[in-house]
Amino acid sequence: MLRRIIYEDWQLIFPIVALAVASLVYLAAAWRASRMKPAQAERMANLPFENQ
pTM, full prediction:
0.60
pLDDT, tens digit (0-9, with 9 covering 90-100), for 10-44: 778 888 899 999 999 999 999 999 999 999 988 88
Kindly state the greatest CA–CA separation across the chain. Answer: 61
For residues 8-46, one letter each, b for 16 or more C-beta atoms within 10 angstroms of the residue's C-beta and e for the rest, the string is eeeeeeeeeeeeeeeeeeeeeeeeeeeeeeeeeeeeeee
pLDDT of residue 23: 98
